[in-house]
Chains A and B, each alone.
Chain A
């Protein structure tokens, strides 16, 4: 009797766990099911590399948005990654305990603030600054990159901090005992040793930047043309969905789901890469 009970219990929990798996399957299935017909209609190549997005004329090319996503993300990574690494080194190696606790909760708050608030802050400060001092409309790739750089900080900082803290104390002691300075130890021993964790942190941060929608809508200008410089407005894959989903129907709506497929595939590749790097270690 008891054994049977145990078995049923096990089975119940197994089905709950299975639901997590099925949710992922259902999400993928439904998004693909909605988007694939349009991709077939337009043609994969014309959809991915088409230069013109004009739903009213039946033109669905998302190449400018792919470029938009890539350039904003690259910009965010170039600004955000070095800053985040500095802060995580600061937290693990330099900060006194009080400051460390304080900064951790500050960064946690940073992670929790709604993305629309960041977008609005960017619209109030960064956009006018770029317009006045650097030229262009202000709503630009640069503004988007700056906002995203701030927004990906918590992800990169917390994960690389964890991987730095996980290193055996012997590494540091050994290096210092050999006469290396504190900085040499950090640069030549600790960072290389925590490399895989830091790489995973960066990849996950980049994933967040690619996926962010609302903050980017507010500062990027959302033009569908191919941007020529970082001071030009642009549109990303996410903002394309965010802006047009409200009124799209028919083919147009399916095209937005197709945009979602491209986004989903990009994220899955990045996420698998991050998990692979962590596992390999």
Chain B
């Protein structure tokens, strides 16, 4: 028996609609579950006190500071290298063997599992460079990890700058450097910023690579050479060892909220950018 094409169409449409709606519902379920359980814990005291008795008491201030410091190191190191690489690939060279190899290594870096970055960071930064478990080791490891994200988004942003901008700048006698800084960079900036913001998101969310390189000391780091525990690591340890479920949920809720705002910011910049270029 042949099923009529219009019937198949109806069935297919039904399945696709159902599955898509279920996916959205599932996400809402995951997010609201964490928020409902966690938001009541998110008081001013929780955010501004250091954890006490390995997390059973007190707040999460030291883990918030640790997250900020690790992310800061990662962004400061990764942004110039990532954006520089993107500019080299787009402005200084034509498609060649060299660009293909560089692009291939960026793609490969993006595919490497975070735990392998953790292993690398441990053996290279912690042991080989003798930085120990520290904010610096964690931040540098994360810098390497977010490099491909920044390269890819910056490259796309630079490529979307119309060629005329460069031509006009050159025809007015602008040098390469002037063209890049005054014609290309300003209009590629929102795209580059989006890449950096997404990189921040990855730093905040990462656990595996950070726990192996920054350690899991619950104390407030006093310098970049002190070990630290980021919020994601804190949540992992609290939840896994069942130390304080209430505080674990609170940490998770804060993480989800931060990620939400990071995405919102990235989207706003992209939308503004798109609206402007039209």
Measured CB to CB, the residues of A under 8 A from B are 2, 5-6, 9-10, 13-14, 16-21, 23-24, 26-27, 30-31, 34, 83, 86-87, 89-91, 94-95, 103, 105-110, 112-118, 120-121, 123-125, 150, 153, 180-184, 186-187, 204, 207, 210-214, 217-218, 238, 241-242, 245-246, 256-257, 260, 263-264, 267-268, 270-271, 275
Contact = CB atoms under 8 A, between A and B. Distances in A.
A113 B259 contact: yes
Contact of B115 (A116, A150, A211): A211
Contacts of B87: 13
Interface SS of chain A: helix, strand, loop or mixed? helix
Given A19-B85, A27-B112, A112-B205, A87 B256 contact: no
Given A20-B151, A267-B112, A83 B212 contact: no
B49 interface: no
Contacts of A87: 19-20, 23
A214 B239 CA distance: 12
9 contacts: A20-B109, A23-B109, A31-B119, A90-B20, A91-B20, A112-B259, A114-B204, A124-B33, A270-B111
Nearest to B128: A30
Given A86-B19, A218-B240, 10 more contacts: A10-B176, A24-B109, A107-B27, A114-B205, A117-B30, A121-B34, A211-B115, A238-B113, A238-B115, A271-B108
Contact of A31 (B84, B107, B120, B176): B120
Nearest to A102: B24
A271 B17 contact: no
Contacts of B168: none
B228 interface: no
Closest 6 CB pairs of A and B: A211-B113, A16-B84, A17-B88, A114-B205, A183-B9, A90-B20
Given A6-B176, A16-B80, A214 B9 contact: no
A83 B92 contact: no
Given A105-B263, A112-B259, A210-B113, A257 B123 contact: yes
Given A16-B84, A31-B116, A109 B20 contact: no
Given A16-B80, A34-B123, A86-B20, A117 B235 contact: yes
Contact of B27 (A19, A106, A271): A106
A125 B225 CA distance: 39
B165 interface: no
Interface residues of B, number: 78
A113 B17 contact: no
Nearest to A125: B33
Contact of A117 (B34, B104, B109, B263): B34
Contacts of A257: 119, 123
